[in-house]
Amino acid sequence: MRMMPLLLTLAIGSLTGVTAAQDAPKTVIPETALSTAPALRQTALDSELGFRITESLTTEVGPRLAGSEADARAVAWAKAKFAELGYDRVWTEPVTFPKWERRSESARVVGRNAQPLVLTALGGSPGGTVEAQVVRFDDLAALEAVKPGSLAGKIAFIDQTMERSRDGSGYGIGSRVRSRGPSAAIRAGASAYLMRSAGTDSQRMPHTGITRFDEGLTPIPSAALSLPDADQLSRLLALGQPITVKVALDCGWNGEATSHNVIGEMTGSSLPDEVVLIGGHLDSWDAGTGAIDDASGVGITMAAGKLIGDLKQRPARSIRVIAFANEEQGLHGGYAYAKAHADRISNHLIAAESDFGAGRIYAFDTSAPAHAKAAAAQIAKALAPLGIEYKPGEGGPGPDISPFARDGVAWANLMQDGTDYFDYHHTPNDTLDKIDLEALAQNVAAYAVFAYLAASAEGDFGSAAKAADSED
Amino acid sequence: MRMMPLLLTLAIGSLTGVTAAQDAPKTVIPETALSTAPALRQTALDSELGFRITESLTTEVGPRLAGSEADARAVAWAKAKFAELGYDRVWTEPVTFPKWERRSESARVVGRNAQPLVLTALGGSPGGTVEAQVVRFDDLAALEAVKPGSLAGKIAFIDQTMERSRDGSGYGIGSRVRSRGPSAAIRAGASAYLMRSAGTDSQRMPHTGITRFDEGLTPIPSAALSLPDADQLSRLLALGQPITVKVALDCGWNGEATSHNVIGEMTGSSLPDEVVLIGGHLDSWDAGTGAIDDASGVGITMAAGKLIGDLKQRPARSIRVIAFANEEQGLHGGYAYAKAHADRISNHLIAAESDFGAGRIYAFDTSAPAHAKAAAAQIAKALAPLGIEYKPGEGGPGPDISPFARDGVAWANLMQDGTDYFDYHHTPNDTLDKIDLEALAQNVAAYAVFAYLAASAEGDFGSAAKAADSED
């Protein structure tokens, strides 16, 4: 996942609430649906389906960088998997984006402390080889405060630590160092940019992730060191003599690519044209096999849709499951979907994306306005036996949902325990063995119960097109 | 560390015991020394010296593959560090060995499941590129049982699991798969050899280590997959269709190199020509920075010697600390020392090497024969406050000590808790952050107390030249 800045998340949350009609009739979940939920929940808990889908994608396709040959195989895999699971409708929608390629990357300290350093290019970085003295900064603010041009001929290195947390809030700092650091380094005149990976582990694995360069700046090679390597570089610098590092990246933008959002739908019984949207993203970074980011999200939501489809009595509305294209490099799939379905906002009852790993869900929140709060509470009550608390005001839409949420679609958030998420996020270590089968089944149960009850609701959750000034 | 096969260890243990003179006078530790031990123990526990030495070697030199430029820097570092610590005598002794180089290594599944696999060449492997179908075996025995020539044109893959244990006993299997697997693969006709790393982690980091090829066989490219990659390859094979992997190793033997055992000595007060030998090994594998294997062993024993040297009243005998050359590729430093000092066996009162990581020491053992058992028990009693149990019959000499022990030198073993040792052993993850400062200080305290008391003993621990038929 890429995660939106917190402020944007909060802005979307409050805007969506304001948008809802103040005099709308109260939304309720019918008793028949509520009485069906426990059995659905238990079926999901007893099922390995979510894990098996996740296993299939990560094993058979492996890493699937957006626009790569493997990404195309992932699209074919998702279509075939939806069909195999018996989804009523399966289709794709094109998503076009700039294509970024990673070919090779290495770094080493040169001179009297000669040794390799383990790093990875940030997504969007240009290639290039730079051999220069390293200047270390404690944090992003320190680099942003230096005199323009003062780092000419140097490599800027931010050694800022990211804190572990259940809700992933520490990633706010980590992702800022990644997205804003390179531009700060360029303004300071630096020839290359290094950062301590945005991660919470102590493994010798760097964390990649997309970066960007401010308009008008000439991009420089930008990379993240593993945490032990950031420690090592800081220790070397603390010895007091100049440290020169050679960074060699072969990577960069290379034209455009078209991938696809892959969509499967279980048709609703009485309002099939209205949908509850759930999903994850199909692309991954290239170092790992994208197990927790985000094959698990695809597996959880594909399995949830399948289990709802298997019910004797389908809910009123359709369950639409989306495997989004290219989330990692800028929510391209999410933006494309929002654009393609801009005239169908009120048909999307509510939307939720799973993109924070495979840990147990501990909390539930939704943008439901006043007239739908009782229904949200009914859903929360059905989720409670899974150990899920109702925490109004704590969540926000998942990344690929966020463009559509900004346009007015109601969202729900099933918050996963991300305590160890940033140990593996965007590293070679994001592999299937990091996923607990039972925790994944709990996720499937939560998504199935949520989507089923929402799709059964009498009334809406506040989805309505925003005024034209709310642009993407 | 490389670790000796268990049977050899046991053989050395019993032989050493038998060798001791049956009518030797009883060895005792004098009361003056015993009364000094608690203060020495506490000084060591309060000191960061062992950690700081470990930090210095791993930071300033980094990885130091035997025979590399960095290995030569490590030798210079060790000489300088002994001098800086105030050792009375510092010298080097040459160690010559075949030089093995690693230049690059990669692997990928080709075809419809195309994806990279993370592996590392085994030490001693030749280079080469092989693209072939993979045949998986549950264990070494299964590969050894196949018909000669039946794997012609195939890659043999052993997916044998190694168990976690405090005493490292699981490595018996792991190291056998590494040392004997390649020859079994060659006999079966295979073009390349892959193994599940001899490790207990679930990180995407392969474990390297030396292998060997039986006489008369033509070596083939041989490598270890990380554990998640071994899982992935097994899952791919379980899909039921042929899986082709391309392995590309650029590595191999390249002439000879000469490195050095680096030796520092604190002169004894009354019997300076007799020594208690402690040490670790200076070389490391190249992927990590050799922190737990074995900068910690060097740091522990250098610090212990220094703290003994700082005592107002030196022990009777000298404390000799050795940073051994090239342990990893065949105990070359240990064999060279044994050969160079073959005529001085009885001058070596007792020897101990620290080469099992940086975990707390939990047990003590020695080859002490009957007449020295009471002294061994006295030492054990002084170690007990450190949480160390006396476990006669459980240990064996450290790897670099073992050739000399086979020749007749008495050994002690301060057994470290290796529960997590094989999570990091021989991987890129063997870095300073894996070492706990307090656990390392406990190790220094144990080595200091042991070496000080042994060097103060009235009497010997059984060191005596063996009969000429006990060859290296």
Question: So what's the ipTM on this one?
Answer: 0.94
Q: Give the pLDDT score at A17.
A: 44
Contacts of B205 in chain A (CB under 8 A): 203-205
> How distant is the Cα of A61 from the closest Cα of chain B, in angstroms?
6
Q: What's the pLDDT at B470?
A: 44
User: What is the mean predicted confidence (pLDDT) over B363-379?
Assistant: 97
Measuring CA to CA, which residue among B431, B203, B233, B457 is closest to residue B349? B457
Contact A113 B63 (CB under 8 A): no
What is the 8-class DSSP label of residue A357? -
Angle between helices B373-383 and B437-456 (to 10 degrees): 150
Read off φ and ψ for residue A446, nearest 5 degrees.
-65, -45
Helix axes B69-84, B49-56, angle to 10 degrees: 150
DSSP 3-state percent helix, strand, coil across chain B (nearest 5):
35, 25, 40
Radius of gyration for chain B, computed over Cα atoms and rounded to the nearest angstrom? 23
Report the C-alpha dihedral over residues A198, A202, A203, A207, rounded to 10 degrees. Answer: 0
As beta bridge partners, residue A28 has A458
E strand intervals along A64-210: 89-110, 115-117, 119-121, 128-137, 154-158, 192-196
To test the contact with chain B by mutation, choose from A104, A115, A226 the residue with the greatest count of B C-beta atoms within 10 A, namely A115
The alpha carbon of residue B313 is apart from the nearest alpha carbon of chain A, in Å, by 35
Q: Which residues of B touch A113 (CB under 8 A)?
A: 59-62
Compute the average pLDDT of residues A110-115. 98
Spell out where B282-360 has E strands: 317-324, 348-353
Question: Tens of pLDDT along A75-91?
Answer: 999 999 999 999 999 99
- The residue among B335, B316, B312, B311 whose CA lies nearest residue B276 is B316
Position B394 confidence tier, pLDDT thresholds 50, 70, 90: confident
With CB atoms and an 8 Å threshold, state whether A60 touches B239: yes
Looking at the DSSP assignment, which residues form a beta bridge with residue A129?
A248
Tell which residue, A120, A192, A110, A108, has the closest CA to residue A156: A192
Q: How far apart are CA B317 and CA B344, in angstroms?
A: 14
Among A55, A113, A429, beta carbon nearest to B62: A113
Best probe of the A interface among B51, B64, B204, by most A CBs < 10 A, is: B204
Q: Which two tokens stand for residue B403?
A: 């050739």
Hey, is B360 helix, strand or coil? coil
- Show me where the domains of chain B are located: 26-88+267-456, 99-254
A288 to chain B: which residues are within 8 Å by CB? 204
- Closest residue of A to B226, CA-based? A429
Closest partner residue to B70 (CB to CB) among A115, A232, A239 is: A115
- Three-class DSSP category at A129: strand
Q: What is the pLDDT of residue B2?
A: 53
| CB pair distance less than 8 Å for A62 and B228 | no
| pLDDT exceeds 80 at position A469 | no
Residue of chain B minimizing CA distance to A57: B113
Phi-psi region of A252 (alpha: psi -120 to 50; beta: other; left: phi over 0): left
Residue B19 binned pLDDT confidence (cut-offs 50, 70, 90):
very low
Q: Which residue has the tokens 């040794």?
A: A115
Searching chain A, which residue's CA lies closest to the CA of residue B428? Answer: A204
Contact between A450 and A392 under an 8 Å Cβ cutoff? The reply is no
With 0-12 / 13-18 / 19 or more C-beta atoms within 10 angstroms meaning exposed / middle / buried, residue A136 is buried
> How confident is residue B395, by pLDDT bands cut at 50, 70 and 90?
confident
Q: Residue B23 — φ and ψ, nearest 5°?
A: -110, 20
CA angle B129, B131, B136 (to 5 degrees): 115
CA nearest to B180, candidates B222, B225, B211: B211
CB A200 within 8 A of CB A426: no
- Chain B residues touching chain A at CB-CB below 8 Å: 55, 59-63, 69-70, 73, 109, 112-116, 118, 202-205, 227-228, 231-232, 235-236, 239, 288-289, 427-429, 431-434
* Statement: residue B37 has pLDDT above 90: yes
Q: Are A341 and A404 in contact (CB under 8 A)?
A: yes
Residues of chain B found within 8 Å of residue A228, distances taken between Cβ atoms: 429, 431-433
Compute the nearest-CA separation of B82 from chain A (Å): 19
Q: Do B59 and A202 touch (CB under 8 A)?
A: no
C-alpha span between B418 and B362 (Å, rounded): 10
Q: Do B59 and A203 touch (CB under 8 A)?
A: no
Q: Do A115 and B62 touch (CB under 8 A)?
A: yes
Question: Pairing mode, if any, of strands B317-324 and B271-281?
Answer: parallel
Residues of A in contact with B112 (CB under 8 A): 73
Q: Among residues A106, A251, A220, A108, which one has the least CA distance to residue A153?
A: A220
* Subunit contact B114:A69, Cβ cutoff 8 A: yes
Selected residue with higher pLDDT from B395 and B414: B414
- What is the reported pLDDT for B15? 45
* Closest chain A residue to the Cα of B433, Cα to Cα: A228
Report which residue type is found at B112.
R
Q: CA of A143: how far to CAs of A181, A207, A410, in Å?
A: 8, 21, 39
Q: How far is CA B370 from CA B22, B346, B413, B415, B462, in A?
A: 8, 17, 17, 21, 9
Tokens 């048909």 -> residue: A347
Confidence of residue B23 (pLDDT cuts 50, 70, 90): low
DSSP B172-222: HHHHHHHHHHHHHHHHTT-SEEEEE-S-S--SS-----B----TT-----E
Which residues in chain B have Cβ-Cβ distances shorter than 8 Å to A428?
A: 118, 204
Average pLDDT over residues A295-314: 98
Q: Which residues pair with A430 in a beta bridge?
A: none
Q: Collect all residues of chain A within an 8 Å Cβ-Cβ radius of residue B199.
A: none
pLDDT band at residue A262 using 50, 70 and 90 as cut-offs: very high
Q: Between A and B, how many residue pairs show a Cβ–Cβ distance under 8 A?
A: 98
Distance, in angstroms, between B228 CA and closest chain A CA?
7
In the three-class reduction of DSSP (H, G, I as helix; E, B as strand; rest coil), residue A237 is classed as helix
Q: Nearest Cβ partner of A428 from B60, B109, B204?
A: B204
A430, two tokens = 């994001």
CB contact under 8 A, A115 and B235: no
- From the list B116, B204, B239, which residue is nearest A431 (CB)? B204
Instruction: Tell me what pLDDT residue B127 has.
Output: 98
pTM: 0.94
A228 backbone dihedrals φ, ψ, rounded to 5°: -60, -30
pLDDT for position B466: 87
Query: CA of A63, closest CA in chain B: separation in Å?
Result: 7
B284-333 residue pLDDT tens: 999 999 999 999 999 999 999 999 999 999 999 999 999 999 999 999 99
Contact A239 B202 (CB under 8 A): no
Q: What pLDDT band is residue A13 in, cutting at 50, 70 and 90?
A: very low
Kindly give the interhelix angle for A296-309 and A49-56, rounded to the nearest 10 degrees: 130
- On chain A, the residues whose CB falls within 8 A of the CB of B428 are 118, 204
H/E stretch holding B80 reads helix B69-84
With an 8 Å Cβ cutoff, are B231 and A61 in contact? no
Residue A463 is predicted with a pLDDT of 97
- What's chain A's average pLDDT? 94
* Chain A residues within an 8 Å CB radius of B115: 61-63, 70, 289
- What CATH topology corresponds to B99-254? Glucose Oxidase; domain 1 (3.50.30)
Taken in order A95, A99, A103, A104, is the CA torsion positive or negative? negative
**Which among B57, B204, B225 is positioned nearest to A203, based on CA atoms?**
B204
Contact flag A62-B231 (C-beta cutoff 8 Å): no
Contact A303, A53 (CB under 8 A): yes
The verdict on a CB contact (< 8 Å) between B204 and A205 is: yes
Of the residues A203, A207, A234, the best mutation for testing chain B's interface (the one with the most B CB atoms within 10 Å of its CB) is A203
Indicate the pLDDT class of residue A393, thresholds 50, 70 and 90.
Answer: confident
Identity of the residue in A112, A113, A429 whose CB atom sits nearest the CB atom of B204: A429
> What is the spatial distance between Cα A430 and Cα A427, in angstroms, rounded to a whole number?
6
User: A24: helix, coil or strand?
Assistant: coil
Q: Taking the domain A26-88+267-456, which CATH number applies?
A: 3.40.630.10
Residue-wise pLDDT for A328-365, tens only, equals 999 999 999 999 999 999 999 999 999 999 999 999 99
